[in-house]
Structure 1
Amino acid sequence: MKSYTCIVEGKVTGGKFQSWVLSTAQRLELKGWVRNINDGKAEILVQGNPDSYAVLQAALKTEAPVPDLKAVTCTVIEYDKVHERFEVRG
């Protein structure tokens, strides 16, 4: 399945970022997950309407609660699992 992945670099720890991504993705009816990965980075996997993904991608750069935002890098990937909801992981 065509999916999207984003790496967000900046101060993503502390809970506000992940809960913001969760509520924004749910509002946009996107599926997938968000998780912190290391050294001030978070990874997001998104499945759903490409227009909704584009809204999320733009919001990550302008609205997300990330002090010291360094970069948002998003790519299209082929992913073999279909998610039924959006969730916060580890």
Structure 2
Amino acid sequence: MASRAEKPVTVTLGPLTAAAQDRVKSGRYASVSEVVRAGLRALDREEALLDELLKARVAEALADPRPVQPAEEVRSGLAARHAKRTGKGA
């Protein structure tokens, strides 16, 4: 029998309990702990993909040759656009 690398942790799944138990009952997982570990691994993959996307977007923005627009110019332009769309004065 494999020994545990860490101390056991108690987790309250709330409404997700039934979904975790269904996965165990289906035979796809041996225990709810296995389901939670798989969920955390999936979350790690998702966050890694989002990090890569964000890094790519930042790199793209930094490489943009267009001149920088002052923040106040951006704010006033957005306010004017919003006012035009909503029919409200800026």
| TM class, shorter-length | under 0.3
With normalisation by structure 2, the TM-score equals: 0.23
Q: Which has the higher contact order (CA 8 A, sep 6+)?
A: 1
More helix by share: 2
Structure number with higher strand proportion: 1
Please identify the structure whose Cα radius of gyration is greater: 2
